[in-house]
Structure 1
Amino acid sequence: MNPRLLLWRLTPADAGPWHRIMRGALAELQGLFASDWAEWIDRPECDFRAVLERADCWAAGWAQGQPLAVGRWEALDSPDTATLMGVYAQPSARGAGLAAPLVRQLIAQAAAQGHHRIQLDVVATNLRALRFYRRLGFAPTATPPLRNPLGLDEIELALDLAPRLAA
C-alpha cells in the first residue's frame, strides 16, 4: 500500500523542522534562492519562526510533522499579487509526487485570500524548475530578467488566479 500524501500548514511551532529543511535547501541549491547560504547559516531558529509568523507556509510529506517538501507565499508588493517562494523538496523525496500538490495548495490558499495573480522568480539556468512551473500553468511575464545578488539572471513567471476565484 502506498503512503497517503499529507499537506499541512506550518506554524511558528514548526520552526525546527522548517529550519532544518530550508538550511538543507540553501546549502544544496546555492544561488537558486533569493536568499543565500551565507545569509542564513548562522541565524537562530527564531528568525525562521518569524518567517512562519508572517507567511502562509505549507509542508508535504508522508507523516505529519516530518516535512519532505515545503513552500510558502506572501503578499509582498501588491495586494492583488502573491509571491511564491522557498519551494523545495528534499533530494530523497524528488519524483515522489509531493511538489505539485504542495504548489497547488499554495496557489489555492493565495486565491482564497483574494489574490488575482501569483508570481515567482526562477534562476534562468534552473531548467528543471522552469519545466515544473510551466506544467502547473505558470508562464514567463514581460518583465526582463533580473540579476540576483549572486549575479544570476532570474525569470519572472506568473499564473492568473482569476479563473480560480470565479470557480
Structure 2
Amino acid sequence: MIIRPTTPDDWQTLKAVRLAALRDAPTAFGVTYASAAQYTDEQWQTRAAGSDKAEYLLAFDGGQAVGIVAGVINGKNEYNLIAMWVHPEYRGRGVAGQLIAAIKERALARGHRRIVLDVAPENVSAATLYQRQGFAFLPEWEPLESHPHISVQKMAWAG
C-alpha cells in the first residue's frame, strides 16, 4: 500500500475516489455528491495540486486508488481531518489506519500537535476506528453542513 499526497496529475483519480466516497456514504461528509459532481475539471485540478484549502492523500494498491483522507486548517487554526474513506473491498485491511497515520505525520510536520475531526456517533465503525487511533470525543456538537439534521461530535487527537 502506498499513501501519498495528490499531485496535479492525480486530479481525475481524486475526482473518482471522492465521488465514490460521497456515493457510498452520502451522509458522512460535509459536502454532497450532487454538489461535488458539479465541480469543474479546473476545481478538481486545483484540489489535486494542493492549491485549495485541503491537502488530499490517496492510498494506492498498485495503480488503483482505494482510499482518501485530507487535512485542512479550520477557522480556529486547528488541523482538521476530513474526507476519510476506504473502498469497501479494502475495509478491515488496515488502510484506514495507514491513512490516519499519514495525516498525523503531515499535521505534525506542519507544527500542529492536535488534530480534530467530526463524526456522527451513530457511525459506530468510524467512531471506533478514530478511538483506536487515539482520538477522543469532545463535548462539542454541530450540524453536518451537508445534512443539517445530522449532528456530529468533535473528536481530537493530541500528538
| TM-score after normalising by structure 1 | 0.86
> Which residue of structure 2 lines up, in the alignment, with residue 60 of structure 1?
59
Unpaired runs of at least 5, structure 1: 162-167
> Which residue of structure 1 lines up, in the alignment, with residue 91 of structure 2?
94
> Which residue of structure 1 lines up, in the alignment, with residue 70 of structure 2?
72
Q: Secondary structure at the match of 2:44?
A: helix
Structure 1 residue 35 displacement after superposition: 0.6
1:24 aligns with 2:16: no
Structure 1 runs of 4+ with >3 Å offset: none
Asked if the contact 1:107–1:118 (Cα under 8 Å) also holds between the matched residues in 2, the reply is: yes
Q: Secondary structure at the match of 1:35?
A: coil
Asked if the contact 2:8–2:46 (Cα under 8 Å) also holds between the matched residues in 1, the reply is: yes
**Separation in 1 of the partners of 2:91 and 2:108?**
26
- Matched ranges for 1:10-159 at <5 A: 10-52=6-48, 53=50, 54=52, 55-63=54-62, 65-79=63-77, 81-143=78-140, 145-149=141-145, 150=147, 151-159=149-157
Asked if the contact 1:60–1:70 (Cα under 8 Å) also holds between the matched residues in 2, the reply is: yes
**Separation in 2 of the partners of 1:27 and 1:111?**
31
Structure 1 residue 131 displacement after superposition: 0.3
> Which residue of structure 2 lines up, in the alignment, with residue 164 of structure 1?
none
Aligned partner of 1:98: which letter? V
Asked if the contact 1:72–1:85 (Cα under 8 Å) also holds between the matched residues in 2, the reply is: yes
Aligned partner of 1:86: which letter? A
Asked if the contact 1:61–1:98 (Cα under 8 Å) also holds between the matched residues in 2, the reply is: no
**Separation in 2 of the partners of 1:112 and 1:126?**
30
**Separation in 1 of the partners of 2:20 and 2:74?**
25
**Separation in 2 of the partners of 1:37 and 1:58?**
19
**Separation in 2 of the partners of 1:111 and 1:33?**
24
